[in-house]
Amino acid sequence: MAATKGKTNKKPSLLINVYLFAYNFIQVLGWSYLLFQIINFYVNPPKSQSLWDVVKYTVGIFQNAAFIEIINVATGLVKSNLTVTIQQVLSRVAIVAAIAFIPDTSDSPGLPLALTAWCFAEITRYSYYGFNIFGYIPYLIIWARYTFFYVLYPVGVSGELLVYWTSLGYVGRTKMWSIEMPNKLNIAFSLWSAIAMVMLVYIPLFPQMYMHMVNQRKKTLGSPETKKIQKKVQ
């Protein structure tokens, strides 16, 4: 008797689904609160605090919580590309680290741009993931996830690059975290050069990421399943 080919897809347990939904729900709340903080900062500006002073703890908590996503993918709880997930998480954490440890970046014009773009992107993304756990995603969430990026990607990337650009002056003057030759270990490291290299990486990566989302939008919003959802909503 011939063995049947194919793998049986095991559905996640109720406990796992509750955990994943709770994580996504908390992230939606966190990024929504951050967006409120940003708006409130400009509507009712405090006298002696910068934007970073107001939002730093919220950003630190919810952005660094994204490390949980790496664990979720690595353990198989979430089906996604581990390498891509690590790159996405670390790229954001690097920005937060630059703002936290390099004084000049807290006043960078790129900070509100990056944070605002992150807020809208993450609220949409985590809402999408949360609903997907139950097997039903409202069309409005699908549309937002595959449409907002047209604006959010350029705004977010511009903000991130401005933050890095602002940091270069301070790092160059102070030679922060840099190792110069000669020394006993016979090694050299320049944080300024490292940041500059990261900025250059954006040049080939951004068009690829942007066009990937454009293609995903065509596939997703043009699919029969999505059209059915759209008809139900209308």
Residue 144, C-beta contacts closer than 8 angstroms, at least 6 positions apart: 124
Q: Where are the alpha helices (DSSP H) in the chain?
A: 14-43, 51-64, 67-74, 82-101, 110-133, 139-145, 149-174, 191-221, 224-233
Residue 102, C-beta contacts closer than 8 angstroms, at least 6 positions apart: 167, 170, 171, 176
Find out whether 111 and 163 touch, Cβ atoms under 8 Å. Answer: yes
Query: Out of 23, 126, 129, 160, which one is annotated catalytic?
Result: 160
Distance CA 49, CA 33 (A): 18
The Cα-based distances of 58 to 20, 61, 120, 219, 234 in angstroms read 21, 5, 15, 35, 37
Query: Out of 33, 128, 139, 153, which one is annotated catalytic?
Result: 153
Find out whether 51 and 157 touch, Cβ atoms under 8 Å. Answer: no
Told to judge if 160 belongs to the known catalytic residues of this protein, a careful annotator would answer yes
Phi and psi (nearest 5°) for 59? -60, -45
Told to judge if 128 belongs to the known catalytic residues of this protein, a careful annotator would answer no
The set of catalytic residues is 153, 160
